[in-house]
Structure 1
Amino acid sequence: MAKKNKGKDPENDNDVGGEDEEPDFNDPEDYVDDITDEDLLGDLLREQPKETDGVESVIIVDGVPQVGAERLEKLQNVIRKLFKDFGPIVTEHYPKDAEGITKGYIFLEFKDRQCAEEAVRQLNTHKLDKQHTFQCNLFTDFDKFENIPDEFQQPKPQPYKDLGNLSYYLLEENCFDQFSVIYEGGTTTAIYLNSVPEVTVVAKRERWTETYVRWSPRGTYLATFHLKGIALWGGEDFRQVQKFSHNGVQFIDFSPCEKYMVTFSSQVDARAEEPQSIIIWDVLTGQKRRSFNAERPPVWPVFKWSHDDKYFARIGEDVLSVYETPSFGLLDMKSIKVPGIRDFSWSPTDTVLAYWIAEDKDVPAKVSLIAIPSREEVRTKNLFSVADCKMHWQKCGDYLCVKVARYVKAKREKNEIKYAGIYYNFEIFHMRDKGIPVDSLEIKENIQAFAWEPIGNKFGIISGEPPSVAVTFFQVNKGLAPSELKKFEKRACNNLFWSPQGQFVVLAGLRNLSGALEFIDTKDFQVMAATEHFMATDIEWDPTGRYVASCVSWWGHKVDNAYWLWSFQGKCLKRQALERFCQLLWRPRPPALLNAAHIKDIKKNMKKYSAQFELQDKMRFSKASKDIIEKRQKLMASFTEYREKVTEKYNSMKEARIELREGLDSENLADNEGDYEDETVEFLVKKEIIVLDD
């Protein structure tokens, strides 16, 4: 029997007569529930027990020595020493036979699945001694091994997919480069060919990407970002070449030779058995090669690649982990222990790693160079009173510059050192010289920017504070300290951009400055042009060093969004305003097949080729003029045809007009002179006073 609730009088708050039924909380018959359990109870569902709980962090190690009770403790110490680097071992079990001798396999339980997977990956096939080699497997993998069919089934070959010529753009006879442009707030993406005299559209699509685009390092692929992952496009018509499923992907990074791609997403499913934050993909096959967990927040890129794609590395807590491809396992199955490591970078041309270690009490900071895969330390440099270090490699790998921010010691108070400020040292490593000598350059001003000449031995530094900002160019010398070549005082700039081929540089005042631009030839340090692109946010050189683009991005400013194209000498060639323009990126080119001697010979004989190029330019502009004349002639012919039609129609309506005007023909005034009166109107146009000399 349902309970009855007595009502209350709303005025005197006393119980009144009458009884109400208990409310019914059931849904109506036609109610449709559109909320899933995942949306409603997502946090609880992720914590629900799974069948693999308790065993997914357990591994089985086979190939362990069989020992008796007298040697068991020694074996356990060896096993613990090998496996402790991958995480705390919760429990360990050594099965024994009836005589108390171990059976040659053991069970180890780690704190979580990630530790167990790393232990299996790194110590599987580890050779303990001449007679014993480990075979490591996850406990949860044994169900998979039990279901292996007895008979081998030959996999069906997949049909060949013809992707076309992905490098067709390199066959452009005039060597015009392509560039991508995103505008209309990100809804429209277009690829243009930087042809002369006008750029031409190669491809244009709406909602091609959801955020931004990125070219692969050699220009083979265009990567677009989507909610479910990354898509790669290529070929003459920009067809989809490959796609990679990674929900919520935010960042990507290609290996230098484009063999692999790394993606990052912050959307992680806690129920997933494998890491989902960082995934390394094979670009050609689209297969996932390995996944990793990410730090919070991640420092991108997490992995840094060697120049030949053979190795990639990341920093851990007091370790530097170097992985090799195509196995994607740790090099030599162990990390490099480097207590206090802060940052590292690869040489752009050699398998050499540079890293720096912070100071620790009386132990100085240190910059080290190590060769991979031998791990041989080829050079070290101790540093004192270090606040921070930044490493800058020259593109050819000839030099490494370590920008060191040092504390200025003031005095010691109560066994504590007080610092008065910061000054900067540039430690320059000569990588090609015997013993790798190091030069030092001290700058006692704030450093805003540093950049190497990509091909050459010069570098530029922007130092000081507005309005006393100076740009200084130095040259690295063999056996001598760097020499100052030229100093430009009081420059309104905060960035310098070298041409990819060297020699030419652009000084730019971006974002919070006015957008001043200076084009400088560092051969004789002549300022070829001093101009301005107001509110410019980005500078982009084309891969050949012939053109440079200055941009006002809608992501940086909401007005005057446009890109301007300049010659390397600072001549403005094109001003293109686009509605909510966002991004411009030049399509990269692969390394030249010519060696240094061939390139030097071409530069030496450039005058021989320049006449031919000038003739081609004149013909191209002449053709453009001819096209304009033909276009104007077509417009004139169209207008003449239209005018004749309208005149004919007007003449055909003459009688009707005269009838409506009661016989007045306004077109023939001679026949209607009596109906008109002439009137002359005069007005003063200009008054001049001329003073005549006597």
Structure 2
Amino acid sequence: MNLPDEWTSPEKQPYKDHGNMRSWLLDKECNDQYSVISDGGETTAILLNSKTEASVVEERKRWTETYIRWSPLGTYLVTFHQKGIALWGGENFQQIRRFAHPGVQLIDVSPCERYIVTFSPLHDPRDEFQAIIIWDIKTGAKKRGFSCDNASNWPVFKWSHDGKFFARMSEDTLSIYETPSFGLLEKKSLKIVGIREFCWSPASNILSYWTPEEKENPARVTLIAIPSRKEVRVKNLFNVADCKLHWQKQGHYMCCKVDRLSKSKKNQFTNFEIFRMQEKQIPVDSIEVKEVIVAFAWEPTGNKFAILHGESPRISVSFYNIKPKGKVELIKTLERRTANSIFWSPAGQFVVLAGLRSMNGVFEFIDTGNDTITMMNATEHFMATDVEWDSTGRYVITGVSWWSHKVDNAYWVWSFQGKLLQKCDRERFCQALWRPRPPTPLNEEKIKEIKKNMKTYNKMFELQDAKRKSKASKELIERRQQQMNDFLEVLERLKKRYKTEKETRMQLRGGLDTDEIEHDEENDEEEVVEFFIGEESAEVDEFDHE
């Protein structure tokens, strides 16, 4: 009703050049960046990692009021403020855009980095659709607001892998929205009685969800294709207490962890239902474990997964391999481990078993290559609370966060083999996060070709390492030479001063020239000082005269 009769075109905004938004990828040594919050949250720094010592790229006081986040592809750094959030990027981390949402506490960025979702419990009661707001990152425009009473299960909205769809679950309802219209898909929600959990495939627009048993109807795990809403696979389950859905990062497999009750409903055991997404008709394999499950984790790029099971101090870790068009095979079980978390390398093959917090920071670095389990190193970072792999799988950061533990706050940098490279002590260290990298432009064939010719590249890398070491040695020699030159310069200056003050010394000493007194070496007396070191006693055989 308030629309004007005549349309006027909006004013043209001047173009603002933010520079190269992916400049950090141009580092010749292919070093990664990571962020560090210290001083109890007062200081935020961006550092460039290296084998020897990290260098500061940018450091600012009160850059954020709570914590920070990187966008999924590493393009933006998100900081939190009382009035909203700010996005930073480019070579010098200049401010890209601000989003006004007072009291913002949580954010989520779409996988395509086109949209950002913010949540604030301080929304205006006059406008109930302000608790969650979805923004367009490039334009800064508000796309849509939603009501939300509780964000304990964040993110409330889950995005498809390409950012074309996002979905929200409510009681007996699954609402799927599409972009860029931000309206309901086909203008209606899906009615799913009892829906408990849902998640998207990381590689395709397939959505999975599960519903519990109701009366004589079994529990169901369902996979549906979007936007057609066609069911592509359904699995019925019985005697179900709870389910958890876990997608492998490449989208090749989905695991449904099913906690089941025995027929007497006194004992509980766990089944892992493995959906093979790339095979015809999506076959499902089942593995039964009759122990308490502590943790489950997929190998991000590969066919393996790991399970922590049992109760302390008898926790075991089992590694499984999914054979193409074959069975799921147990590779090996390692018993009596001090671990409560599993962290796979983003590149696969290598895994860190971590005993965090109450387990005092015990770590095991394991190689799972060639279907063999090899222990590379067992070590500890006392009271460690966090583990972070870099996106290339070369380095691992372990940290003791001031937010969780008030003493021994520091972060350590390790190689993927478990070799300690750096100990970084920062006052009241809080958080360290690696900057993500976008997907590699290389296809699988090119990657296989590089691995095949790795010996050729190894020679080149060894030569570069030798040059780097010689350069470091040269810099050390030059620094020491400069220190020697500075010392000789000071020494020469003091000698000149000593000579100019000779007359003053003679006047103070009654005309005696003490500079010319020669030391009488003949009258030197040698003094010998003896120290008692210790005493030993031994029995000697009286017949052993020799």
TM-score bin, normalised by smaller chain: over 0.9
Q: 1:180 aligns with which of 35, 38, 42?
A: 35
Indicate the residue corresponding to 2:309 in structure 1. Answer: 463
State the Cα distance separating 1:274 from its structure 2 match. 5.2
1:215 Cα offset (Å): 0.6
Q: Which letter does structure 2 place at the counterpart of 1:574?
A: Q
Shift of 1:254: 0.5
> Which of 473, 480, 485 in structure 1 is aligned with 2:319?
473
**AA partner of residue 295 (structure 2):** A
1:232, 1:658 → 2: CA distance? 73
Bigger radius of gyration among the two? 1
Matched residue, 2:139: 285
1:254 alignment counterpart:
109
Q: CA deviation at 1:156?
A: 2.2
Q: Which amino acid aligns with 2:241?
A: A
State the Cα distance separating 1:542 from its structure 2 match: 0.8
* 1:341 is aligned to 2:210: no
Q: 2:85 aligns with which of 230, 241, 244?
A: 230
Identity of aligned residues (%): 57
C-alpha distance in 1 between matches for 2:346 and 2:82? 34
The match for 1:628 is 476
TM-score by length of 2: 0.94
Q: Which amino acid aligns with 2:146?
A: F
- Determine the structure 1 residue equivalent to 2:164: 310
Which of residues 181, 206, 209 is equivalent to 1:352? 206
Q: Which amino acid aligns with 1:228?
A: K
Task: Tell me which moved more, 216-225 or 592-601.
Answer: 592-601
Report the 3-state secondary structure (helix = DSSP H, G, I; strand = E; otherwise coil) of the residue aligned with 1:564: strand
Q: 2:271 aligns with which of 425, 436, 446?
A: 425
Residues 1:171 and 2:26 are matched in the alignment:
yes
Q: Distance in 1 between matches of 2:412 and 2:152?
A: 35
Tell me the distance in 2 between the aligned counterparts of 1:549 and 1:297: 29
What is the Cα deviation at residue 661 of structure 1?
4.4
Cα offset, 1:345, TM superposition: 0.2
Task: Give how far 1:372 is off.
Answer: 0.5
Unaligned runs of 5+ in 2: none
The equivalent position to 1:504 in structure 2, one of 326, 350, 358, is: 350
AA aligned opposite 1:492: T
Structure 2 counterpart of 1:595, which letter?
N
Q: Quick one: higher RCO (CA 8 Å, sep 6+), 1 or 2?
A: 2
Give the AA of the match of 2:194: G
Aligned with residue 367 of structure 2, among 518, 521, 544: 521
Amino acid at match of 2:153: V
Cα separation, 2, equivalents of 1:628 and 1:390: 55
Q: Distance in 2 between matches of 1:498 and 1:686?
A: 58
Aligned partners of 2:241, 2:359: CA distance in 1, in Å? 28
**Aligned counterparts, 1:477-626, within 5 A:** 477-523=323-369, 524-626=372-474
Query: 1:364 deviation in Å?
Result: 1.8
Instruction: Say if 2:488 is the partner of 1:640.
Output: yes
Contact 2:414 2:422 in 1 (8 A): yes
- How far apart in 1 are the matches of 2:505 and 2:351? 72
Equivalent position amino acid for 1:193 in 2: L
Partner of 2:298: 452
SS of residue in 2 equivalent to 1:249? coil
Look up the SS of the partner of 2:257 in the other structure. Answer: strand
CA–CA distance in structure 2, aligned partners of residues 174 and 551 of structure 1: 25
What is the one-letter code of the residue matched to 1:463? H
Q: Secondary structure at the match of 1:643?
A: helix
Number of aligned residues: 536
Q: Distance in 2 between matches of 1:611 and 1:205?
A: 40
CA distance in 1 between partners of 2:510 and 2:216 (Å): 113
TM-score by length of 1: 0.74
Moved more, 207-216 or 677-686: 677-686
Task: Compute the displacement of 1:581 (Å).
Answer: 0.9
Contact 2:52–2:422 under 8 Å retained in 1? no
- The structural deviation recorded for 1:585 is 0.7
CA 493–688 in structure 1, closer or farther in 2 if over 3 Å, else same = closer
Q: Residue 638 of structure 1 aligns to a residue in which SS?
A: helix
Q: 1:687 to 1:562 in 2, by over 3 A?
A: closer
The offset of 1:482, in angstroms, is: 1.4
Q: What's the RMSD between the two structures over aligned residues?
A: 2.0
User: 1:278 and 1:421 mapped to 2: Cα distance?
Assistant: 42
* Offset at residue 687 of structure 1 (A): 5.6
Query: Could you tell me how far apart the structure 2 residues matched to 1:158 and 1:274 are?
Result: 31
The separation in 1 between residues aligned to 2:218 and 2:513, in whole angstroms, is: 106
Any idea what SS the aligned residue of 1:240 has?
A: strand
Q: 1:161 to 1:689 in 2, by over 3 A?
A: closer
Asked if the contact 1:197/1:620 (under 8 Å) is kept, the reply is no
Q: Contact 1:177–1:194 (CA<8 Å) still a contact in 2?
A: yes
Gaps of 5+ in 1: 1-141, 411-418
Residue 162, structure 1, aligned to residue 17, structure 2: yes
1:98-113 matches, within 5 Å, as: none
Conservation of the 8 A alpha-carbon contact between 2:71 and 2:77:
yes
| Further displaced range: 656-665 or 386-395 | 656-665
The AA in structure 1 aligned to 2:397 is A
Rounded Cα–Cα distance in structure 2 between residues aligned with 1:558 and 1:339: 46
Residue 194 (1) aligns with residue 194 (2) = no
Distance between the aligned counterparts of 1:290 and 1:526, measured in 2?
51
Contact 1:197 1:624 in 2 (8 A): no
Distance 1:297 1:548 in 2: 31
In structure 1, the residue matched to 2:243 is 389
Query: Deviation at 1:645?
Result: 2.1
Q: Tell me how far apart the structure 1 counterparts of residues 269 and 315 of structure 2 sit (CA, whole Å).
A: 16
Report Cα offsets for 1:152-176 as digits up to 9, x if no partner.
3232211111111101122222211
1:667 and 1:184 map into 2 onto residues whose CA distance is 56
Q: 1:656, CA displacement in angstroms?
A: 3.0
